[in-house]
Amino acid sequence: MASEQALAWSGLPVVTIRPTVCYNQEMDIKARFPNFYGMCGCYFHQDWDMDDPTAEAVVRRYMRDADPQEVQRVAVEIDDFLRIEMTEEERRAILDKFGCEYYPPGDGLSYSEWLRQVHDLLTSKR
């Protein structure tokens, strides 16, 4: 502060540089749901339907591949995600950011309905 006063008295312009805070919502949402994000990108990628015939089959393959604790974490994160008040379009946009290429309306489901089904499947007995 004293150096600013000295510059001001000298007639030189005083420029104060303050760091700006950049809020990156996309990174925040991925960090909040890391396991759900990982499942979406790794299992519901652009060619998911070449790996499995249905979205349910994709989830079942994930359940076989992942350890039970990870499956549990994804289920908890999906439940937390569903508790956030947002529109279906907002849910779609987030799932797009997660790399999820599955389109629930093509199977007659909203994004919320599909996620509830995924949650229920993940929490069922293997």
Domain extent at residue 46: 25-123
pTM, two decimal places: 0.76
- The pair phi, psi for residue 67, each rounded to 5°, is -75, 155
Three-point CA angle 121, 56, 125, nearest 5°? 25
Residue 12 in any domain: the answer is no
Residue 110 in any domain: the answer is yes
Taking only the tens place, the pLDDT of each residue in 64-123 is 999 999 999 999 999 999 999 999 999 999 999 999 999 999 999 999 999 999 999 999
Residue 15 in any domain: the answer is no
Taking only the tens place, the pLDDT of each residue in 28-73 is 888 999 999 999 999 999 998 888 999 999 999 999 999 999 999 9
Cα-atom radius of gyration of the chain, to the nearest Å? 23
What is the number of domains present in the chain? 1
Residue 17 in any domain: the answer is no
Residue 56: how many CB atoms within 10 A of its CB?
14
Residue 9 in any domain: the answer is no
Residue 53 in any domain: the answer is yes
Burial class (CB in 10 A: 0-12, 13-18, 19+), 43: buried
Residue 7 in any domain: the answer is no
DSSP assignment letter at 124? S
Residue 80 in any domain: the answer is yes
